[in-house]
Amino acid sequence: MSVLVGKKAPVFKANAVVNGSEIVEGFSLDQFKGKQYVVFFFYPADFTFVCPTEIIAFQDRIADFESRNVAVVGASTDSAFSHWKWLQTEQKDGGIKGVKYPLVSDQSLTISSAYDVLAGKFDYNDEGEDVFEGAPQAYRGLFLIDKEGIVRHQVVNDMPLGRSVDETIRLIDALQFTEEYGEVCPANWKKGEKALKATQEGISDYLSHKH
């Protein structure tokens, strides 16, 4: 798997559904560059079981992301129309109606390939024909991208394993704290807790206060 941390987030333009109902062409993360942080996450497929719990969980905490100047964007290999249909379906019926952040369509599989979260792969058979092996779906990849378009955190879960929105917000807080104060965040650090300077004296001071 590619490690994108410290590198520019792969660029793309694709169809997406925004505001829960509008299909737009040429959607790109470039619109956030210089303005907002981005949480860009992949999920395997529309109209499934774990996926709506994650997608709705991000929507339920959208105010927490917005207060931190973070845009949330989801993506799967489904069509934009499939996204739209799912967004019109009531949650009690397995839908995600009420979700307002953008959902990107990666039908070409190029975006999930660029972020290296595609479960399957393109190959050639014995006749030299282009074939696809495995599932044309994305693993549960999540990427935290800073305002300069650089990936600062990534995590990839297998398809049955849902992610933690709390942990995503904790990492945003840690990134923004280090950017503002120049200190580093130790294990399990949460907003409001003591951080430490990246020196031996700083570590010793942190441990003495901790214990």
Q: Which residues are catalytic?
A: 51
In sign, the C-alpha dihedral spanning 48, 52, 54, 58 is positive
Residue (of 127, 119, 130) closest to 1 by Cα position: 119
Neighbouring-strand partners of residue 72: 39
86 within 8 A of 124, measured Cβ to Cβ: no
Q: Rounded CA gap, 128 and 31, in Å?
A: 40
**Edge-to-edge order in the sheet of strand 140-145:** 22-27, 14-18, 103-105, 70-76, 37-42, 140-145, 151-157
179 within 8 A of 147, measured Cβ to Cβ: no
